[in-house]
């Protein structure tokens, strides 16, 4: 007996009829076009409404330049720090067995379910002028709230889980046999980490950093609360977009928004490439 006698028709019991499929695909495409693609196109259409020159002029203004610079610097500090914390957290959680691990993972995930505005508010309560820590900071001429450190802290709060979330499932799956082998062969702890662990997790790490960076550069709610919105000083790109928009400077606002939208598209592209090329080395279940 050969398999030739089986006809492909057998597959039809495990799928819907061709008509149903076509209708469902059609509805999905329309909804995706309206919900996802239309807003994206709108950003670029509004930015270029008065031509390229006007758009570029908006980006060249000192306020926009300062906002771009501030956003880049904040991300350059917050993202590597959170990457380091994420690696440390993943190492402790996946290579050791200790009490309270489940609670700890929940606490690391906490920023995902806390409103960014509440995150900003909490930071104001800790570092603001009417807390004892805030009073001490003022006395020592250190400003956190309405200043650069506050923006970095707010950004770190909302992006805290990204790297750890990506690394924990990957490192859990890899176990610790390879590290143990390296140590048995006489490698030091750091050498084991850099020559065994890091190469194993590099793509997952890059994936986490990518998402962390996208969120860091685009964070609005938490930064809006803590930055004080001092023009040219504590205005990151999203905050500047809000200010320009509220001043009816639509082209300038959308030009800045278009830069962030391009960054989002680049992030999606790199993310898709990583998923396609290194699917097996990323978190087993895809992130939510």
User: Looking only at residues 69 through 108 of this chain, which bind another protein when binding is defined by CB under 8 A?
Assistant: 81, 84-85, 88-89, 91-92, 95-100, 104, 106-108
Locate 56 and state its tokens.
Answer: 């570029």
Closest approach, Cβ 171 to another protein, in A, equals 11
* CA separation for the pair 145, 13 (Å, rounded): 62
* Residue among 104 and 281 whose Cβ is closer to another protein: 104
Rounded CA separation 134/124 (Å):
9
3-class SS of residue 103:
helix
7 contacts another protein (rule: CB under 8 A): no
Residue from the set 30, 56, 72, 117 that interacts with another protein by CB under 8 A: 117
156 binds another protein (CB under 8 A): yes
Scanning residues 17 to 76, which ones bind another protein (CB under 8 A)? 17, 21, 24-25, 27-29, 31-32, 34-40, 42-43, 45-46
Q: Which of 116, 167, 170, 208 binds another protein (CB under 8 A)?
A: 116
Closest CA to 91 of 5, 7, 185, 198: 198
**Which residue is it, tokens 């900071």?**
137
# of chain residues touching another protein (CB under 8 A)? 106
CA atoms of 163 and 88, how far apart (whole Å): 10
86 exposed, middle or buried (CB, 10 Å; 0-12, 13-18, 19+)?
buried
Nearest distance, CB of residue 155 and another protein, angstroms: 10
Please, are residues 65 and 252 in contact by the beta-carbon 8 Å criterion? no
CB 97 within 8 A of CB 119: no
d(CA 135, CA 114): 26
Residues of this chain, 239-278, that bind another protein according to CB under 8 A? 239, 241-242, 245, 250, 253-254, 257, 260-261, 264-265, 267-269, 271-272
Decide: is 14 part of the binding site for another protein (CB under 8 A): yes
- Using CB under 8 A, which residues numbered 161 to 220 contact another protein? 176, 179-180, 183, 189, 192-193, 211, 214-215, 217-220
Query: Which of 92, 153, 100 is closest to 124 using CA atoms?
Result: 153
Q: Contact with another protein (CB under 8 A): which of 2, 5, 7, 113?
A: 113
Shortest approach of another protein to residue 130 CB, angstroms?
7
Q: How far is the CB of 73 from another protein (least distance, A)?
A: 17
């Amino acid at each position: 007996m050969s398999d030739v006698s089986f006809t492909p028709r057998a597959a039809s019991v495990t799928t819907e009829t061709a008509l149903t499929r076509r209708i469902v695909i059609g509805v999905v495409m329309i909804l995706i076009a309206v919900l996802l693609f239309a807003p994206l196109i709108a950003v670029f259409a509004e930015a270029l409404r008065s031509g390229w020159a006007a758009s570029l002029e908006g980006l060249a203004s000192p306020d926009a330049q300062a906002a771009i610079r501030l956003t880049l610097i904040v991300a350059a500090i917050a993202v590597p720090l959170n990457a380091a914390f994420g690696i440390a957290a993943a190492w402790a959680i996946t290579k050791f067995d200790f009490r309270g691990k489940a609670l700890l993972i929940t606490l690391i995930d906490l920023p995902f379910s806390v409103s960014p505005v509440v995150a900003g508010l909490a930071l104001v309560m800790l570092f603001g002028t009417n807390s004892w820590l805030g009073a001490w900071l003022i006395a020592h001429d250190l400003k956190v709230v309405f200043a650069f450190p506050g923006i970095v802290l707010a950004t770190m709060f909302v992006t805290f889980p990204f790297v750890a979330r990506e690394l924990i499932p990957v490192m859990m799956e890899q176990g610790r046999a390879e590290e143990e082998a390296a140590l048995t062969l006489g490698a030091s702890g750091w050498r084991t980490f850099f020559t065994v662990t890091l190469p194993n997790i590099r793509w997952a790490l890059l994936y986490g950093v990518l998402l962390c960076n996208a969120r860091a550069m685009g964070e609005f709610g938490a930064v809006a609360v803590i930055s004080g919105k001092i023009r040219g000083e504590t205005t990151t790109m999203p905050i500047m977009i809000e200010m320009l928009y509220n001043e009816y400077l639509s082209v300038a606002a959308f030009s800045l928004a278009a830069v962030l939208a391009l960054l989002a598209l680049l992030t999606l592209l790199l993310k898709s490439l990583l998923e396609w090329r290194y699917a097996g080395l990323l978190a087993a279940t895809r992130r939510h």
